[in-house]
Amino acid sequence: MPPALMWSEVYRPKRVEQMVGNEDVRLAVLKWLQKWVSGTKPLLLLGPPGVGKTTLVHAIATQFGFDLVEMNASDTRNRDSLQARLAPVMNNVSLFGTKSLLFLDEVDGISGREDTGGLDLLIDMMKEPTVPVIMAANVKSAKIKELAKACKTVEFAPVPPRLLLMFLEHVLASEGEKLGPGDKVALVNNCRGDIRNLLNSAQSRAAGYATVSNADVAEIEIQDAINGYFSATSKEKAVQLLARADASFPDPRYQGMDPESRRKDMIAALFSTIVSSQAGDTLADMLDVLSKADVVVGRVGRRRQWSLLRYVSPMLAHGLYDKSRGKEIRYSQYSMPWPVMGPVFARSQTVRKLASFIGPATHVSKRTCSWLVLPYLVREMINEKVDPAEFALANFDDESVGESLVKEIERAKGAKK
């Protein structure tokens, strides 16, 4: 049997008028294109995933005979590679004798770190575009604020439930599949206006991947998913629970981590859960599974090889299963209890502050200062009975340094006893 085609691809509209929702936006985009002359500001499509940003651009290109030049987050978009790719297009060298339309998808995914100078170059090139340029992003993040200034912005809204339900009925009828009314409403409600998500869920439901209850299509809180995984009585059920967690596999080295994304970091959550439980003899085995999965996540982060992500969840779910049975493992958000972590954290703030003053004064990095200079300086201040406040003022003209020094001096005296 050939692999089933994804409904979200099969039913991706080929023409602008076949699309669902956001009519005014579609109209605005068509008008922009109609009036386009060399130098017209680029268009920035803003909107949540799965509302049709990419579909719209593809449809326009096919319908109006544009040669679509597309770059998205999977391409490295540093200065050099952007220049190499875009310069020929911008210089109006038509590839096949047709007009070009430049589409930069996921511009909010251009990384300041990996894609060196990419944004600056884009902003520069977008001042006087010689071909129509459309960009798409999920949110107007701080990163792309400058870029957005150079663009005309149109915002997509999530597709309303009524339209989603109609579209779902249409797809189900075309596929000859039937779902109960409760299921359909649940699917529509759970997709939050994301059509791609709706079709993917509907397809897996129709194929019988999921069981009957409504809760199954919804994502599960990471905490419940992890607790469910470790207490599940069948491997099948456990694997499924983990796969449905409202979680992700970020690489903290390359993306900003707010508390919420830290909480939803699946590998970190499994780690804090496992090290906080009495895992005993299989602890090393379980950490080894996490470590290997983490290497894959690291490769995704470094090489932007998104396709590797599909291996991570199975690696974890299957790898941990046998090692974790009968261990009473319960979710824990923090890898260290606060009574232990708190003082370490507080002291690290003190030392960091001191190192930021003393490091430069002794020509070493803050790091080297923390472990190689500061401990000896504190010892010397105790030996020579140097007054911390006077020392702080004399060397750094800053009183708060003195307060931090007092803390470290007291600590060192305590440790000596």
Partner 1 sequence: MSKKSDLASLMWTEKYRPKRLEDIVNQSDIIKGITNLVRSPDIPHMLFSGPAGVGKTTAALCIAMEILGDEWRKNTLELNASDERGIKMVRERVKEFAASVKLATDKDFDKPKIIILDEADEMTSEAQTALRRIIEDSARTTRFIIICNYLSQIIEPIQSRCVVFRFTRLPKADVIEHLKMIAAKEKVKADEKALEQIYDSTGGDLRHSINVMQAAAGMGAVNAANVNAAIGLSGRSKVGDILKLALAGKFNEARIKLLELTQVYGMSETDFLKYANQEAYDMKLENPGEFAALMAEYDYRLASGAHPEIQLAALLAQLGRLKKN
| Residues 153/125, Cβ–Cβ less than 8 Å | no
311 binds partner 1 (CB under 8 A): no
Distance CA 252, CA 255 (A): 5
CA torsion sign for 160, 166, 171, 172 is positive
Contacts of partner 1 in 151-170 (CB under 8 A): none
251 binds partner 1 (CB under 8 A): yes
Contacts of 128 (CB under 8 A, 6+ apart): 38, 39
- Count other Cβ atoms within 10 Å, centred on residue 242: 26
| Residues 270/333, Cβ–Cβ less than 8 Å | no
Please choose, out of 141-149, 154-162, 164-172, 381-389, the segment that lies near partner 1 by the rule CB under 8 A: 381-389
387 binds partner 1 (CB under 8 A): yes
Distance CA 319, CA 190 (A): 30
310 binds partner 1 (CB under 8 A): no
Q: Find the radius of gyration of the CA atoms of the chain.
A: 28
| Residues 296/310, Cβ–Cβ less than 8 Å | no
CA torsion sign for 90, 95, 96, 100 is negative
Contacts of partner 1 in 325-344 (CB under 8 A): 335-336, 340-341, 344
368 binds partner 1 (CB under 8 A): yes
CB of 261 to partner 1, least distance (A): 13
Residue among 43, 355, 401, 405 that touches partner 1 (CB under 8 A): 355
352 binds partner 1 (CB under 8 A): yes
413 binds partner 1 (CB under 8 A): no
Q: Nearest 5°: phi and psi at 46?
A: -110, 140
- What is the contact mask toward partner 1 in residues 76 to 115, using x (rule: CB under 8 A)? --x---------------------------------xxx-
291 binds partner 1 (CB under 8 A): yes
CB crowding 363-399: b at 16 or more within 10 Å, else e: ebebeebbeebbeebbeebeeeebebeebbeeebeee
**# binding residues, partner 1 (CB under 8 A):** 69
Please choose, out of 32-40, 60-68, 206-214, 293-301, the segment that lies near partner 1 by the rule CB under 8 A: 293-301
359 binds partner 1 (CB under 8 A): yes
70 binds partner 1 (CB under 8 A): no
Contacts of 275 (CB under 8 A, 6+ apart): 283, 287, 335
- What is the contact mask toward partner 1 in residues 201 to 230, using x (rule: CB under 8 A)? ------------------------------
Q: Nearest 5°: phi and psi at 299?
A: -65, -40
CB of 304 to partner 1, least distance (A): 13
Residue among 31, 361, 399, 413 that touches partner 1 (CB under 8 A): 361
CB of 23 to partner 1, least distance (A): 42
DSSP letters, 201-216, are: HHHHHHTT-S-SSGGG
CA torsion sign for 227, 233, 238, 244 is negative
Residue among 35, 384, 397, 414 that touches partner 1 (CB under 8 A): 384
Q: Nearest 5°: phi and psi at 101?
A: -125, 125
Residue among 162, 178, 367, 413 that touches partner 1 (CB under 8 A): 367
63 binds partner 1 (CB under 8 A): no
Residues of this chain that interact with partner 1 (CB under 8 A) are 78, 112-114, 116-117, 250-253, 267-268, 271, 275, 283-284, 287-288, 290-292, 294-295, 297-299, 301-302, 335-336, 340-341, 344-345, 347-348, 351-352, 355-356, 358-368, 370-373, 375-377, 379-381, 383-384, 386-387, 390-391, 394-395
